[in-house]
Chain A
Amino acid sequence: MKPENSLSAPPEKKQPFWKSLASVNLTIFLLIFLAVSSIVGTLIPQNEPPAMYVQRYGYGTYQLLDSLSLLDLYHSGWFRLLLLLLALNLIVCTTDRLRHVWDIVFPKEKRLNENAVLASPGTRALKYKANPSVVKAALLPILSGKLGDLNETTAGSTTILWREKGRLSRLGVYVVHLSVVIFYIAGIASSLGGFMTSINLPEGAVVEQVPLPNTNVGYNLGFALRVDKFEAQFYPTGEPRDYRSDITIIENGKPVLNGNIRVNRPLTYRGITFYQASYGRFPKTIELNLVDKTSGKIIPLSVPFGQEAILPDGLGTLRSLRVEPNVMDMGPAVQMLLTSPEGGQTDLWIFKNNPDFGRVKKLPYRFLVTEVREGFYTGLQVAKEPGILFVWAGSILMVLGIAVTFFMSHRKIWAVLEKKGEGTTVTIGGQTNKNKLGLEERLDNLYLQLQKADIK
């Protein structure tokens, strides 16, 4: 006969393979294996260039580590297999046990296993001189005040007043297991439908396509993003205060949105999110002075970085190649390529502080750098992350599930009223699936209340 209201887990009767997949031992084994593997992954640097490993461990060890997939451990086949096995273990364990638990959580009718209660009603007994019906009438308000609506079961001359609570809490653990599966779904959704890449954009740049990592293809955003301005703010102490990119979203050639991207305040447009990740400076224009060799007359000239500027009097063009903050301890210098009208090319370094350089025989003037104007570029992380909703759902379910599993219990508390001679014996007792100390405390409390009660 099936114990209808047993609070302990029913015995399992399953074929061995199914049973071993559902077993807690497998769970423990997998958790240990996952923990140890994860530790290994933090001790061996991951996803570094091969040269770094060869230098650090030697070629033979590098090959061994690589063949065991220990250099990209968390994305390796065997680590994924472990995760898959854990998922399988969870799902099988859950479906295997849930059927039995379901009958306890959602019984067809409220029932009490009277025989079990009468066999061990508890140790807290009170004796009254009055008969059971008088005692019951007197105790009922106290008991229901403490426990809520009571059920009543009679067995012969004995009356049991009882209350059952927290049946649903038995499902908590399965909610936790479900939440783990939801995290897996998040991971799958991220790897199938998501991407993340980073781009550096100078002020003024427009981007319509971003590179996808580990591929040669670009991802078409479906709109354009223009960086209007980047600003870095600092506290007086020198620590960074704010990094901000002001941007405009352009669709079909028309600006549709002005916004900004800051750290912790990303901007999402049409499912694509832009994060402020980094920034830097780059040379924008090089300001030169052309000093006439005889008269000393000065003609200013701006050369956009990486581009050409036309020299006055049709004497050719000047292209900027490289900017160095300090060359040969003589301060900032710019490498330029001079192209004469005939097509001859001369490579020359022009300094900011040293007029001895920047001279070319054929030309009537010498060059001097007055300023290298810098602009900012902003480093943006571009991501499409379909998994995050699952992460939210999984997180909420897991935290709630753990709270319910460990801090709520399925309890029954009863008072057994027995006629003893002319008087009545009342025994307080209970049953719980966990936190026995908590139940004892509750029963002590109830017992005290009943002792205080004045019954004639």
Chain B
Amino acid sequence: MLSSKILAVVTFSYLAAVIFYLSALIFKTKIGQRIASVVTIGTFVAHTAAIILRWVESHNLGIGHAPFANFYESLVFFAWAIILIHFIAEYKYKLAHAGVFTVPFAFLGLAYASFSPTISSRIEPLVPALQSNWLIAHVITCFIGYGAFAVSCGLSIAYLFKRSDDKKDLDTLNYRVIVFGFLFLTAGIATGSIWAHSAWGAYWQWDPKETWSLITWFVYAIILHVRLRGWHGKKIALLSIGGFVSVLFTYFGVNFLLSGLHSYIN
């Protein structure tokens, strides 16, 4: 498939962007920063095109469906969501070096998808359990949420590394990205729950995937509430990294270590 070949190139292109971001940070060059931004934007365009192309390819195979049907496709979309949210950090909040800490997550996700021998990039037909309009709403909301949490994790690492005293804006942005992720995680759990009801008859069964998504929700709800108690900066950064560990477990750990209703993912 052409789309998966493009995505393999996109993977390395993100790696190149990370290297440019990193050298711009180390050598403090404006031009390096510009190049990194341009490479990221160009790669993101190709990334988006590949996702659309994959949709078209599935239709050409006669099994047309949105490219959200297997583990490979979910990783590709996860990486896409990370870069989308990264742009908000870079442009809206003018954080020049955010890319050093956010783009690597997209690179790792795509590299895992493209080069892991256990992940098939084949376009598969949609099994009956996934034949629902809820698929698109559920996957988009969940992965935008996950993407935001990945970016927040990156910003948190940046916060812990940054030595300057003026880190208030980074903290504020980090918090806003968490809130953004929380909104989408909530929508993701809600759409999943309503979908579960129309597919299986029960909107909540304490299935491991459901439970871990709720645990992740609890973790970020805790972050929002300790913020009310005045926590900020380093404490929030550490909690956000912890939150992302919970996201990773919800996404990967449950599939590999615990069995449940979501097992068609693999």
Interface residue ranges, A against B (CB under 8 Å): 24-25, 27-28, 31-32, 34-35, 38-39, 41-42, 46, 74, 186-187, 190, 196, 235, 237, 239-243, 262-264, 266, 273, 275-277, 381-383, 385, 387-388, 391-392, 394-395, 398-399, 402-403, 406-407, 435-437
Chain A residues lying within 8 Å of B63, measured Cβ to Cβ, are 235
Contacts of B169 in A (CB 8 A): 437
The answer, among A27, A32, A263, A387, for a CB contact under 8 Å with B128, is A263
A35→B183 contact, CB < 8 A:
no
B187 at interface by CB-CB < 8 Å: yes
Interface pair A395/B198, CB less than 8 Å apart? no
Shortest Cβ distance from residue A385 to the other chain B in the assembled complex, whole angstroms: 7
Considering only residues 93-134 of chain B, those with a C-beta below 8 Å from chain A are: 93, 124-125, 127-129, 131-132
Looking at B8-16, B80-88, B156-164, B203-211, the stretch in contact with chain A turns out to be B203-211
Contact B172 A437 (CB under 8 A): yes
- Which secondary structure dominates chain A's binding surface? helix
Task: Report yes or no: B190 in contact with A398, Cβ–Cβ below 8 A.
Answer: yes
Considering only CB atoms, which chain B residue lies closest to A392 in the complex? B194
Q: Could you tell me if B183 and A27 are in contact, using CB atoms closer than 8 angstroms? A: no
Nearest Cβ distance between residue B138 and chain A, in whole angstroms? 12
Partner of A391, one of B125, B182, B187, B193: B193
Residues of A within 8 A of B176 (CB): 406, 435
Query: Interface residues of B, CB < 8 Å — how many?
Result: 46
Chain B residues in the interface with A (C-beta under 8 A)? 63, 93, 124-125, 127-129, 131-132, 169, 172, 176, 179-180, 182-183, 186-187, 190-191, 193-194, 197-204, 206, 208, 211-212, 214-215, 218-219, 221-222, 225-226, 228-229, 254, 258
Whether A240 pairs with B128 at a CB distance below 8 angstroms is: yes
Determine which of B131, B206, B229 lies in contact with A41 in the assembled complex, contact meaning CB atoms within 8 Å.
B206
Which residues from chain B contact A27 at a C-beta distance below 8 Å?
Answer: 225
Q: B200–A381 contact, CB under 8 A? A: yes
Cβ of A276: which chain B residues have Cβ within 8 Å of it? 128
Contact A242 B128 (CB under 8 A): yes
- Contact between A391 and B218, CB atoms less than 8 A apart: no
| Residues on the B chain within 8 Å of A391, using CB | 190, 193-194, 197, 203
Q: Are B211 and A38 in contact (CB under 8 A)?
A: yes
Cβ contacts under 8 Å, B132 to chain A: 264
Known: A263-B128, A263-B129. A31 touches B225 (CB 8 A): yes
Known A196-B201, A264-B129; contact A28-B186, beta-carbon cutoff 8 A: no
CA distance A399 to B186 in the complex (A): 7
Nearest-neighbour CB distance to chain A for B202, whole angstroms, equals 6
Given A35-B215, A403-B183; A385-B201 close (CB under 8 Å): yes
Q: Which chain B residues border A38 with CB–CB below 8 Å?
A: 211, 214-215, 218
Contact of A387 among B186, B203, B208 (CB under 8 A): B203
Q: Which residues of B contact A39 (CB under 8 A)?
A: 215
A275 touches B128 (CB 8 A): no
Which chain B positions have C-beta within 8 A of A34?
Answer: 218
Also in contact, A395 and B194, with CB within 8 A (given A38-B218, A275-B200, A381-B201): yes
